[in-house]
Amino acid sequence: MTTLEHNALQYHAARDARPAGKIAIQVTKPVDSQDDLSLAYSPGVAVPCMEINRDPAKAYDYTAKGNLVGVITNGTAVLGLGDIGALAGKPVMEGKAVLFKKFAGIDAFDIEIDETDPKKLVEVIAALHPTFGGINLEDIKAPECFQVERSLRERLSIPVFHDDQHGTAIVVGAGFLNALRLTGRDISLAKIVCSGAGAAALACLDMLVDLGVPRKNITVCDSRGVLTTSRDLSEEKRAWAQDTQASTLGEVIGMADVFLGLSGPGLLSQDDVRKMAARPIVFALANPEPELRPERIREAAPDAIVATGRSDYPNQINNALCFPYLFRAALDVAATTINQAMKRACVVALAEMAATDAQFGTEYIVPSLLDKRLLTGVTPLIAAAAVESGVARQVWDQQVYRGRLEALAKTLI
């Protein structure tokens, strides 16, 4: 057993009178007297029950719903571990709950559902919706994840967000904008080659198009090669098919400005990097082992801008840069959904935060995960986008809202 494996097991185990795992429930109101108990439960609890019965929106006033997110998985695509099942995915979901609380003061329940049929999974999750102000779907394999998220978004009036797709896309978008800025590229001319056609990859490509990349400038490869119009493809992949005779990554990467990898280790070679345009942008995001290690990329192209999903290299593309603040904003304005306007606002806010930092450069294209400006700098812009796009049910004065976030930030330090 390695030191990391040993330390990880010790970290998660029960010790020092603390229970196993990483999360627990905390009581938020006094229960020190008989009067307190009569208000917390019977008979006093009947009063808010009847208020909510008369007006369901009152649940945000009298319960934890407005600060509670469900982190939900069926364990079919866990991190870099694959289909390990719902129970084995529980440590990851608990970890996600920790990040919600640590970075945005949001409470989260991790829910592991032993169901692989997407229609049945939708029914289970939909039935849980009264509990939560938002639902974070996690580690559900493609293509089922598309169906699950789409169905839930259509049925529910609270935000449903598959972080593996959209969280990755947002942080990739922010890093992409800054990499273009540093290399002086025009977004409308950028040529992109993507290795990977799963949920995260396709969401990233949708985001890049939304930011201004022409769809015709993007070539996508999956495990069988280039997505072409001559292949029998799923609906999601068919949208990215090109009319070309090329069949391999090596055939299409010549003079590409950007490589986006969300696939697997070893799928990008140094020869591929050498074929790319000058000052290439290489996002090798397979985790834990990237398509090609940064040091090998720079051997082939010393002026490359490189990002990975790893914390031991610069420019980590980490979803935790966005999902706590997206949900914080969505909960605070009682948003019915997390829409494209909110996601785009998050992309721009993250990009600007890094670009205005003294560290900004080829090894600092997205903010650090521990940057204390994130909560107060990113969240208000997302909330404003929710209001402006018409999905907010609660509107805050911007100055008052920033003050609330600043006060919250002090409690999280």
Report d(CA 280, CA 307) in Å as an integer.
11
Q: Which two tokens stand for residue 318?
A: 């980490």
Q: Hey, what long-range contacts does 75-83 have (CB within 8 A, 24 or more apart)?
A: 75/112, 75/139, 76/116, 76/139, 76/140, 76/141, 76/144, 77/139, 77/140, 77/141, 77/142, 77/145, 77/164, 77/199, 78/139, 79/139, 79/287, 80/286, 80/287, 80/288, 80/289, 83/141
Residues 6+ apart with CB under 8 A from 295: none
- The span from the CA of 296 to the CA of 304, in Å, is 11
The set of catalytic residues is 41, 96
Helix (H) or strand (E) holding 109: strand 107-112
Tell whether 164 is in a known binding site: yes
d(CA 332, CA 386): 10
Give dist(CA 78, CA 48) in Å, integer: 39
Residue 138 in marked binding region: yes
Q: Are 98 and 107 in contact (CB under 8 A)?
A: no
- The annotation status of 139 as a binding-site residue, yes or no, is yes
Contacts of 77 (CB under 8 A, 6+ apart): 83, 139, 140, 141, 142, 145, 164, 199
Query: Is 51 one of the annotated binding-site residues?
Result: no
As a whole number of angstroms, the distance between CA 97 and CA 69 comes to 9
Query: How far is residue 82 CA from its own chain's centroid?
Result: 18
Measured CA to CA, the distance from residue 241 to residue 247 in angstroms comes to 12
Distance between CA atoms of residues 113 and 86, nearest Å: 6
Residues with Cβ within 8 Å of residue 217, at least 6 apart in sequence: 189, 190, 191, 192
SS3 390: coil
DSSP 236-251: HHHTT-B--S--SHHH
Q: Is 287 annotated as a binding residue?
A: yes
The three-class DSSP label of residue 168 is helix
What are the structure tokens assigned to 134, written together?
Answer: 């938002």
The answer to whether 116 and 145 are in contact (CB under 8 A) is no
Q: Which parts are annotated binding residues for a divalent metal cation?
A: 138-139, 164
Q: Which parts are annotated binding residues?
A: 138-139, 164, 287, 318
Q: Which parts are annotated binding residues for (S)-malate?
A: 287, 318
